[in-house]
Structure 1
């Protein structure tokens, strides 16, 4: 599990599990999976992230040699581009997933593009 420190930018009024975070110079909108305390906008918290893929994995070799996270419309879904290293896609945030290792081992060492249905955030107690 990779740990990060993220600043809470906004907590959505309509969808209470939706939070927009700022870290490493970019913003990401996530689904709050676990949060053992009350969040406050403008405060920084330790977090970890998990990919949520509900159906088949949509993975392709990328023609771009750069890391990116692109939000799809106004949803929780993202296109994630990064280098596949074992079971980890190394992007602006690194995500570990056993399926990447077992089913996409032939792309190891390459830049890939992966569609995530959502990115869950866990707020850590340290």
Structure 2
């Protein structure tokens, strides 16, 4: 899914780290694809995903909770929302590029919580680039 993201902060030490805001939700992510120079205070088209470095931790939760919660001061997040076959709707839709959810058919159409090591951001080209 394509969103318009407002760049709130760029980290001077870690080139890929960027704080963005999408539809009122602010989070820190890693710009793994950025085909042009981005600037603080400007908005860009993006798609978002997640990175799992070790093993996926996923479980069903009670209630209809959709949220993104940072864990401590690091890059890990809990993503809570409605699981679909290839994405999770946590207020923002995160696509499952690596097909992790394929191993959890019993959780499809249920509310889940998963722990991710980082949120990935792809800055997309526009027709004016």
Is the TM-score greater than 0.5?
Answer: yes
Inter-partner Cα distance in structure 2 for 1:15 and 1:46: 21
Segments of 5+ residues of structure 1 without an aligned counterpart are none
Cα deviations across residues 24-76 of structure 1 (Å, max 9, x unaligned)?
Answer: 11101101101111111000000011211111110000123120000111111
Give 2:24's aligned residue: 25
Count of equivalent residues: 124
Give 1:120's aligned residue: 120
The alpha carbon displacement at 1:122 in A equals: 0.8
Give 1:99's aligned residue: 100
Other structure's SS at 1:92 match: coil
Give 2:8's aligned residue: 9
Runs of 4+ displaced beyond 6 Å: none
TM-score, length of structure 1 as denominator length: 0.93
| Contact 2:48/2:95, CA 8 A, preserved across alignment | no
The alpha carbon displacement at 1:12 in A equals: 1.1
| Contact 2:34/2:122, CA 8 A, preserved across alignment | yes
Q: 1:40 to 1:85 in 2, by over 3 A?
A: same
Query: Which stretch has the larger CA shift, 69-78 or 89-98?
Result: 89-98
Other structure's SS at 2:100 match: helix
Inter-partner Cα distance in structure 2 for 1:16 and 1:96: 23
Q: RMSD of aligned C-alpha atoms? A: 1.1
Other structure's SS at 1:13 match: coil
